[in-house]
Amino acid sequence: MLAALAACGGPPAKPPPDRLVLTRAGYRDLPGWSRDDPSAALPALLKSCTVLLKGGDDQAVGFAGTIADWRTPCADAAQVPAGDQAGARALFERDFVPFRASNNAETEGLFTGYYEAELHGSLARTDRFNVPLYHRPGDLVSVDLGQFRPSLKGQRIAGKVSGTKLVPYATRTEIEAGALAGRGLEFVWVDDPADAFFLGVQGSGRVILPDGQVLRVGYDGENGQPYVTIGRVLAAEGVPADQITMPYLRKWIADHGPDGTALMDKNPSYIFFRELKGDGPMGAEGVALIPGRSAAVDRGFVPLGLPLWVDTTDPVEASGRLQRLFVAQDVGGAIRGPVRADLFFGYGADAANHAGLMKGKGQAWLLLPAAAAARQGPGT
């Protein structure tokens, strides 16, 4: 009996490591499939095709087959007229096979939103515009660990070389205290440190200059420090998790002065930026994102370019649900796990509101090219 009591009082079992499990499905299994307009996702798919098809036929696209498997669906997609819902639906149902995504046995994951932020800034430092955005430092080294150990595929670190060792890069607090000052890396100055912080969360934005010109900026690397979600910090301090949205976080930071700054510094991760030209914002895949159809994923599990069907709660949609076809075209520091996506909503007040309130539990189905799907079992 003592042994049994001791066993009952032991520490909880450690959850298994994240693992993507795919289960073959049909389009009738996708909630809301018949009500979506898949032609609206074709521009995103075609942008991804331009990147994918640059590779050789034998090049692997993660678990989604090889480049050869993508040539037919990409060619067929290019033949569908713009806005042709029936043609787009037929394309996906013929050339792609849906697989339900699970994290081990758990099919439910988290779906959030992001947008292209708007900031106000200047190309020169002034009393008002005194918060710098930095270019990527030349001594920042990014390492794809999967190139060294197959078991670490999809994991990346960053740092700088000191002697013969790679050491951690400066933290957010250290950078904001001047660790990079005097190196000529500042390329624009903004007027609000919270705006700069959330620009890093979003990954891209538009800086409105004093003369009305617009400078578009986008992600160009990070310092390699761990990403800490400040909402979880507040939740651990007793704030109800269901209250913590981006508007709530912004207001909390604005209302709490030095404590607001300290909260942002709980996240040691820091994002560097570059100026964007032409269409944008640009995702990690190297293509311009499509509002309402591009998504950020954890590419350690989901290959960029892959279409995915999302079914999740959404406080903005009249039905209370968002059921839509997206294409994986971006990544994010907080996007971790096999059933996890950050949905891009575009630019402007409506996009900011939608992204800020988006925090729903839901499910995802990954659409594999038919040739690649034929080599998958019913569950893998």
At position 279, the amino acid (one-letter code) is D
Residues 223-236: pLDDT tens digits?
A: 999 999 999 999 99
**Residue 9 belongs to some domain of the structure:** no
The answer on 260 and 152 residing in a single domain is: yes
The answer on 224 and 186 residing in a single domain is: yes
Closest CA to 172 of 161, 164, 180: 180
Q: What is the pLDDT of residue 241?
A: 87
Q: How many angstroms separate the CA atoms of 208 and 213, rounded?
A: 6
The answer on 251 and 132 residing in a single domain is: yes
CB-CB contact of 98 with 25 (8 Å): yes
CB-CB contact of 346 with 116 (8 Å): yes
Q: How many angstroms separate the CA atoms of 132 and 163, rounded?
A: 29
**Residue 379 belongs to some domain of the structure:** no
- CATH of residue 157: 2.40.240.50
Q: How far is CA 58 from CA 55, 61, 77, 203, 366, in A?
A: 8, 9, 21, 32, 21
Q: What is the pLDDT of residue 278?
A: 75
Q: How many angstroms separate the CA atoms of 81 and 79, rounded?
A: 6
pTM for the model stands at 0.80
CB-CB contact of 189 with 181 (8 Å): no
Q: What is the pLDDT of residue 277?
A: 85
**Residue 97 belongs to some domain of the structure:** yes
The answer on 104 and 75 residing in a single domain is: yes
The answer on 128 and 165 residing in a single domain is: yes
Query: What share of the chain has pLDDT > 90, as a percent?
Result: 80
The answer on 270 and 129 residing in a single domain is: yes
Instruction: Please give the residue range of the domain that contains residue 98.
Output: 20-112+288-373
Q: How many angstroms separate the CA atoms of 16 and 355, rounded?
A: 31
Say what angle helices 193-202 and 257-265 make with each other, to 10 degrees.
Answer: 30
The answer on 207 and 126 residing in a single domain is: yes
At position 103, the amino acid (one-letter code) is N
**Residue 380 belongs to some domain of the structure:** no
Lowest mean pLDDT among 85-94, 149-158, 331-340: 149-158
Q: Which residues contact 220 (CB under 8 A, 6 or more apart)?
A: 135, 136, 272, 273, 274
**Is the pLDDT at 1 greater than 70, yes or no?**
no
E-assigned strands of 163-237? 165-167, 186-190, 204-208, 214-222
Residue, of 131 and 242, whose pLDDT is higher = 131
Q: What is the pLDDT of residue 11?
A: 63
Q: Which of 217, 246, 275 is the last residue of a domain?
A: 275
Q: How far is CA 91 from CA 42, 77, 310, in A?
A: 10, 7, 18
**Residue 281 belongs to some domain of the structure:** no
Listed in sequence order, the DSSP H helices in the chain are 2-8, 42-52, 67-78, 85-95, 172-174, 193-202, 230-236, 246-255, 257-265, 349-357, 370-373
The answer on 96 and 241 residing in a single domain is: no
The answer on 160 and 77 residing in a single domain is: no
The answer on 179 and 312 residing in a single domain is: no
Q: What is the pLDDT of residue 202?
A: 85
The answer on 187 and 143 residing in a single domain is: yes
Mean pLDDT of 59-63: 93
Q: How many angstroms separate the CA atoms of 17 and 98, rounded?
A: 24
Q: What is the pLDDT of residue 377?
A: 67
Question: Using 50, 70 and 90 to split pLDDT, how confident is the model at 10?
Answer: low
| Tally of structural domains, the chain | 2
